């Protein structure tokens, strides 16, 4: 299975290592044409506004087309890019998940933290770094994980988004869930 990891900026290498551990072949995507070579994509954490600048209008359009047709997993800044609505401040995005996210929502004092949340009923470690908060999800969105009452891992169709950084915890469940999703989605055609 060939999985791309968007490698413009941010912590793409931890995703690469995790996906390789799980048996995927990883392509570090630095140019829009490389999207044609992969079956699925991970958009890592970083700074979502910087991603938008680096992608440019054409890159964003190409990425939008990809996300419409193939499984995509965004973490933190990646999740922000996938959202339909972004605030603090508002910015453009891919609109793949019907949700409103608020950037840097946890405030300066708690810039980063490791907390225990729940994924599909089981406890799981979650690393938050200047994380966005999901403030609203639409009816087509499935909430797969929560921290307290807040959704932190959500899925809409072939798109998965996490406001935390599963690539930074030893637990591989979230990436495994994505690879399973890729297998079933692409298998079905």
Q: What is the contact surface with ligand GLN in residues (CB under 6 A)?
A: 45-48, 76-77, 80, 103-104, 129-130
CB 47 → ligand GLN: shortest distance, Å?
5
Residue with tokens 């406001």: 163
CB 77 → ligand GLN: shortest distance, Å?
3
Residue with tokens 């390789």: 20
Annotated active-site residue 61? The verdict is no
Q: Judged by CB, which is closer to ligand GLN: 104, or 184?
A: 104
Q: Which residues pair with residue 127 across a beta bridge? A: 114
DSSP characters over the chain: -EEEEE-SSSSHHHHHHHHHHTT-EEEEE-SGGGGGG-SEEEE-SS-HHHHHHHHHHHHHHHHHHHHHHS-EEEETHHHHHHEEEEESS-------EEEEEETTTT-STTSEEEEEEEETTEEEEEEEES--EEEEE-TT-EEEEEETTEEEEEEETTEEEESS-GGGSS--HHHHHHHHHHHHHHHH-
Q: Judged by CB, which is closer to ligand GLN: 37, or 56?
A: 56
Report residue 97 as tokens: 């998940």
Q: Judged by CB, which is closer to ligand GLN: 46, or 151?
A: 46
Q: Judged by CB, which is closer to ligand GLN: 37, or 92?
A: 92
Annotated active-site residue 76? The verdict is yes
CB 117 → ligand GLN: shortest distance, Å?
16
Annotated active-site residue 118? The verdict is no
| Catalytic residue of the set 15, 147, 167, 175 | 167
Q: Which residues pair with residue 122 across a beta bridge? A: 119
Annotated catalytic residues are 76, 165, 167
């Amino acid at each position: 299975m060939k999985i791309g990891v968007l490698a413009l900026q941010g912590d793409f290498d931890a995703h690469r290592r995790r996906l390789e551990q799980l048996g995927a072949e990883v392509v570090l995507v630095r140019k829009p044409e490389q999207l044609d070579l992969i079956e699925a994509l991970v958009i890592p954490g970083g700074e979502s506004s910087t991603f938008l600048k680096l992608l440019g209008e054409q890159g964003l359009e190409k990425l939008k087309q990809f996300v419409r047709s193939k499984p995509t997993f965004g973490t933190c800044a990646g999740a922000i890019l996938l959202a339909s609505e972004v605030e603090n401040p508002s910015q453009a995005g891919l609109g793949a998940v019907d949700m409103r996210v608020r950037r840097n929502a946890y405030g300066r004092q708690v810039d980063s933290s490791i907390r225990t949340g729940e994924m599909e009923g089981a406890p799981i470690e979650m690393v938050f770094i200047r994380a966005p908060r999901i403030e609203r999800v639409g009816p087509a969105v499935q909430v797969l994980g929560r921290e307290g009452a807040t959704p932190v891992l959500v899925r809409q169709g072939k798109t998965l988004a996490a406001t935390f950084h599963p690539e930074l915890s030893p637990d591989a469940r979230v990436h495994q869930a994505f690879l399973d999703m890729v297998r079933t989605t692409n298998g079905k055609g």
